Chain A
Amino acid sequence: MKTTPTICYDEMHDGENAVRPAYSGYSGWYGEQDQAWLRKQSAEAEGFFRRTGITFNVYGNDAGEERLIPFDMVPRIITAVEWRKLSRGIEQRVRALNAFLHDVYHRQEIVRAGKLPERLLRENAAYLPQMAGFVPPGGVYTHIVGIDLVRTGPDDFMVLEDNARTPSGVSYMLENRETMMAMFPELFTRVRVRPVSDYPRRLARSLALCVPPAAQFGNTERPTVAVLTPGIFNSAYFEHAFLADQMGAELVEGSDLRVVDGRIAMRTTRGWQPIDVLYRRVDDEFLDPLTFNPTSVVGVPGIMDIYRAGGITIANAPGTGIADDKAIYSFMPEIVEFYTGEKPILKNVPTWRCSEADSLAYVLDNLAELVVKEVHGSGGYGMLIGPTSSRKEIAAFAAKLRARPDNYIAQPTLALSTCPILTRAGLAPRHVDLRPFVLVSPGGVEITPGGLTRVALKKGSLVVNSSQGGGTKDTWVLED
Chain B
Amino acid sequence: MLGRSANGVFWMTRYLERAENTARLLEAGFRMALTRGDSASADEWRSVLVTMGLDRAFAEARGADYSGSQVCNFILRAPDNPGSVRAMLETARTNARMVRTAITREVWEGTNEAWMALNEALARPVRETNLGDVLSLIRRHTTLVRGAMDGTMLRNEIFNFARIGTFIERADNTARILDVKYHVLLPSVAWVGSSLDHVQWETVLRSVAGDRAYRWLNAGRLDARGIAQFLLLDGRFPRSLAFCYAKLSSNMAGLAREYGAETPSHALLHAACARLDQTTVEQIIEAGLHETIVSFLRRNGELAVAIANDYRFIE
Contacts and interface: CB of A to CB of B under 8 A. Distances in A.
Interface stretch (A121-129, A263-271, A405-413): A263-271
Number of chain B interface residues as a range: 20 to 34
B97 A53 contact: yes
Interface of B: 1-4, 6, 94, 97-98, 100-101, 105, 108-109, 112-113, 116, 157, 161, 259, 311-312, 315
Contacts of B4: 253, 255-256, 267
A478 interface: no
Contacts of B100: 53, 241, 245, 251
5 contacts: A256-B4, A267-B4, A267-B312, A267-B315, A269-B311
Q: Give the secondary structure class of A's interface.
A: mixed
B97 A51 contact: no
B312 A271 contact: yes
Interface in A224-279: 231-232, 237, 241, 244-245, 250-253, 255-256, 266-271
B312 A232 contact: no
A33 interface: no
Given A52-B108, A53-B100, 19 more contacts: A51-B112, A53-B108, A53-B109, A53-B112, A231-B98, A237-B97, A245-B101, A250-B101, A253-B4, A255-B315, A256-B3, A267-B2, A267-B3, A267-B4, A267-B312, A267-B315, A269-B157, A269-B161, A269-B259
A269 B94 CA distance: 21
A50 interface: yes
Interface in A41-85: 50-53
Nearest to B99: A251
Contact of A51 (B94, B116, B259, B315): B116
Contacts, number: 58
Q: Give the secondary structure class of B's interface.
A: helix
Contacts of B94: 232
Nearest to A231: B98
B101 A244 contact: yes
Interface of A: 50-53, 231-232, 237, 241, 244-245, 250-253, 255-256, 266-271
A245 B5 CA distance: 13
Contacts of A244: 101
A-B pairs with lowest CB-CB distance, top 9: A241-B100, A269-B311, A245-B101, A267-B3, A251-B101, A244-B101, A269-B6, A269-B1, A53-B112
B259 A270 contact: yes
Contacts of B98: 231-232
A256 B116 contact: no
B305 to A, nearest CB: 15
A266 B2 contact: yes
Contacts of A53: 97, 100, 108-109, 112
B5 to A, nearest CB: 8
A270 B3 CA distance: 8
A251 B5 CA distance: 9
A250 B102 CA distance: 9
Nearest to B103: A245
B223 to A, nearest CB: 45
A270 B2 CA distance: 9
Contacts of A266: 2
A241 B96 CA distance: 11
